Structure 1
Amino acid sequence: MSLALLAGFVARQATAANPLMPLRILRSRNVTGANLTQMLALSGMFAFQILVALYMQNVLGYTALETGLAMLPAAVGIGAVSLFGSARVSARFGARTTLIAGLVLLIGAMSLLTRIPVQAGYVTDLLPVMLLISGGGLVLPALATLGMSGARESDAGLASGLFNTTQQVGMAIGVAVLSTLAASRTGRLLTDGQSAAAALTGGYRLAFATSAALLVAGLLVAVTVLRRPRAAAPAAEPVRS
């Protein structure tokens, strides 16, 4: 149903005299690539917050407060990298390289989670993940830069609105799909006679593996589709009389 509605929307925008979203904006490789990368990356990244919290509480027996404190390094790391590191790294190496580096860190975090044990230790099994997930602080600012760089000045508002929309869509799809996969896998393992903790862990592992695959797909789009933004032309010096 959702795909049918999306197809109908695109068809209408292609024929409308005054379209809500002129499809010409999708002709830009950076606009299209950045939005596609964002959907894939956030589908894999955003579900991390929910699934890891569920794993800590349902498998490890953490309280809500303990779960929040355990995830604090990830939140602080993402915020710190986004506010204090992302702009400097992008200025030195470019937004595309910064994005790729951030995605590699996220893939590393999700890869570690695919091997999470039933009896995990926080320092050995979870803290490295919390530190690697701070790569998300590089991803979103770089994506915004790349997505806006491909739009004409007259389309800046449209590009920003599209970027915000695909961000929300990516997060919603990620939570729905990965949670469903985890629940389905857990149910099968329970039917096979595994304990509740082992079954839940197996379900979360599948979700994390899918998350890693989504991030790898986002990385491939970033590498093959996105291009370094063109530097702005220097302003002409005024003619002195």
Structure 2
Amino acid sequence: MSEQLIAENPATSAPDETEHIKNPSRDRRGLVLATILIAQLMVVLDLSIVNVALPNMQEALGFSATGLSWVLNAYSLTFGGLLLLGARAGDLLGRRPTFLVGIAIFTLASLAGGFATSGAALVVSRAVQGLGAALAAPASLSLLTTMFPEGRERTRALGLYTAVSVGGVSFGLVVGGILTEFASWRWVMLVNVPIGIAVATTAWLSVPHTPRRRGRFDLAGAVTSTAGVSGLVYGFVHAASAGWSSVVTLTSVIGGVALVVAFIAIERRADEPITPLGLFASRVRSGALLARMFLIAGAMGAFFYLTQYLQDVLEFTPIQAGLAFLPMTAGVFLASQSSSRFLVERLGERIVMIVGGVLSLASLVWLTQLDVHSGYGDVVVSLVLLGLGNGLAFVPLTSSALHGVQPHEAGAAAGLVNVAQQVGSALGLAGLVTVSGHAARNADPAGVLDGVQHAHAVFLSGAHAAFEAATVMLVVTLFLVTFVIRRGQVAEEPVPVLVD
């Protein structure tokens, strides 16, 4: 029994590390938490802040329609593909230096992107931003989990982290619209520079050192995991424009799958794997990671098509479209804080996740009813439901994904949380775009419509197909949180290590 408790309890498995982190920082946890939250906001913001600036970027730098998509894809590919490597770097090199290096890279890349004079230079800077984010994001989450003990303190900290992570995406649209309209598209990049300097400064002064582990990088695992995830993401993104019969699409997806299989085989034999496969042995953690992927995939589909609906059909300006998402941001903040402060404690994590999944599913079902005659009043109902649902679900999902993780594996576990989110976002959105494009091409709106009405009807045909596919993803999420994530049944089990 003592061995089982040591295997499951982070505090007993590595008391030296826990004491080293907790005691010196007890009086400055608030400042450290604020630093982590601002850094996470900056990283998440760049997933959406450039969206409303894309037309201006295209005009200024001469992007083609296909090339313009890489302003978004370059960031998501390097961010999602290098997260596991970033998480491992935090474990071996120390989370504080890894976090600082990540913020520095992100800030310098933002500066370069703000002064880019060609499309290629901007795309490269976005890719380097993704590298910085891949180092900073898992380090920040693992710092949070090791500084705040499992229970009420960690749940509240994760509530704030979740509010920033989810609400930051919609907040990015508002900021991007304001900067683009009143300053320049370059400021959607340059705005990160003063923020990055402030974050690096406060982190240098307040974030405590964490012990470094002796070991070496699992280079074979790093290469295969990064290339495999990148191949899958690229294949799905490419399928949105070229179709599934494209040689490039098939080669990317098949190659990505092969590399992921090779990664698993390498990790089973590695002495110091980049991702300990024992993390997946817990039904709670594996279920939480899968549920997060599907929830993000469905939510990002709604986010993507609602942005177009507001601007193309309802004719909102970029700023108006960004502000239109504020009810969702408010819903996320309200629900995540309620979830972390008292709902999880009173109702249990599983009930809160189920309620969050039901509300998110209801939001997408509501969206399938939008038509050319709908107004913002119809949209705002869905936005509120989506914000409340995601806000409720993400706090216990994050907690479940990190449940029982030993301190020396906190970086790898945090990396997997971020990988699930980024891969779910990229693959889910690409798949929904493919579904939407097929439906739009085959649309035949009934009645006599003028050109604008016809275009709106065709768009909505594609959007409805995407919303319907997204509801399927939310059904899968609801199944996972209802029947798979049952912490009470496995909370006392040790975390086994998979061996060949």
Instruction: Please give the TM-score of this superposition, normalised by the length of structure 2.
Output: 0.44
Matched, 1:42 2:286: no
How big is the shift at 1:183?
A: 2.1
Counterpart CA distance in 1 for 2:384 and 2:424 is 23
What's the offset of the Cα at 1:192?
Answer: 9.3
- What is the CA–CA distance in structure 2 between the aligned matches of 1:9 and 1:68, rounded to whole Å? 40
Q: 1:92 aligns with which of 346, 364, 383?
A: 346
For normalisation by structure 1, the TM-score amounts to 0.88
Is residue 2:259 matched to residue 1:5? yes
- Out of 161-170 and 56-65, give the one that drifted further: 56-65
Instruction: Return the offset for 1:47.
Output: 2.4
Cα deviations by residue, 1:25-45 (Å, 9 ceiling, x for unpaired) = 111001100001111111111
Structure 1 match to 2:360: 106
Q: How far is the alpha carbon of 1:60 from its aligned partner?
A: 2.3
State the one-letter code of the partner of 1:20.
I
- Deviation of 1:145 after TM superposition, in Å, equals 1.0
Matched, 1:207 2:460: no
Equivalent residue in structure 2 for 1:181, among 435, 438, 441: 435
1:131 aligns with 2:384: yes
Distance 1:34 1:85, change over 3 A: closer
Task: Determine the structure 2 residue equivalent to 1:235.
Answer: none
Query: What percentage of residue pairs aligned between the two structures are identical?
Result: 32
- Counterpart Cα distance in 2 of 1:207 and 1:52: 11
Q: Which runs of 5+ in 2 are unaligned?
A: 1-254, 493-500
Instruction: Check the 8 A contact 1:29/1:150 in 2, yes or no.
Output: no
Equivalent of 1:145 in 399, 411, 414 = 399
**How many residues are paired up?**
231
**Counterpart Cα distance in 2 of 1:191 and 1:107:** 27
SS of 1:189 mapped into structure 2: coil
1:220 to 479, 485, 490: 479
State which of 49, 52, 55 in structure 1 corresponds to 2:306.
52
Quote how far apart the aligned CAs of 1:130 are: 1.4
Going from structure 1 to structure 2, the CA distance change for 1:94 and 1:55 (only over 3 Å counts) comes to same
User: How large is the Cα RMSD of the aligned pairs?
Assistant: 2.1
- Write out per-residue CA displacement over residues 191-211 of structure 1, whole angstroms, 9 at most, x where no aligned residue: 999811111001001101111
Contact 2:445 2:458 in 1 (8 A): no
Deviations 1:57-113 (A, max 9, x none): 122222212212222111121122223444311111111111111010000000001
Distance 1:87 1:183 in 2: 42
The answer as to whether partners of 2:298 and 2:474 remain within 8 angstroms in 1 is yes
Asked if 1:33 is matched to 2:287, the reply is yes
Quote the Cα distance in structure 2 between the aligned partners of 1:209 and 1:199: 16
Letter in 2 for 1:203: G
CA contact 2:314–2:375 (8 Å) conserved in 1: no
- Once residues 342 and 433 of structure 2 are traced to their aligned partners in structure 1, the CA distance between those partners, rounded to angstroms, is 36
CA-to-aligned-CA distance 1:113-132 (integer Å, 9 cap, x gap): 11111221222x21211111
C-alpha separation between the residues in 2 aligned to 1:169 and 1:3? 14
Q: Which amino acid is 1:27 matched to?
A: A
Query: What CA distance in whole angstroms lies between the structure 2 residues aligned with 1:84 and 1:222?
Result: 19
Cα deviations across residues 130-172 of structure 1 (Å, max 9, x unaligned)? 1111211111111011111143444333211211111111111
Cα 1:179/1:86, change in 2 over 3 Å: farther
138-147 vs 223-232, which moves further = 223-232
SS of 1:112 mapped into structure 2: helix
Aligned to 1:77: 331
Distance 1:191 1:97, change over 3 A: closer
Measure, in 2, the Cα distance between the counterparts of 1:75 and 1:183.
Answer: 28
Q: 1:231 to 1:218 in 2, by over 3 A?
A: closer
Structure 1 SS opposite 2:268: helix
Distance 1:85 1:28, change over 3 A: closer
CA 86–51 in structure 1, closer or farther in 2 if over 3 Å, else same: farther
Q: Counterpart of 1:26 in structure 2: which amino acid?
A: F
For residues 480 and 446 of structure 2, what CA distance do their matches in structure 1 show?
Answer: 38
Q: Secondary structure at the match of 1:222?
A: helix
Q: Which amino acid aligns with 2:462?
A: G
Aligned-partner SS, 2:443: helix
In the alignment, is the contact (CA less than 8 A) between 1:99 and 1:142 conserved in 2? yes
Contact kept, 8 Å, 1:189 with 1:202, in 2: the verdict is yes
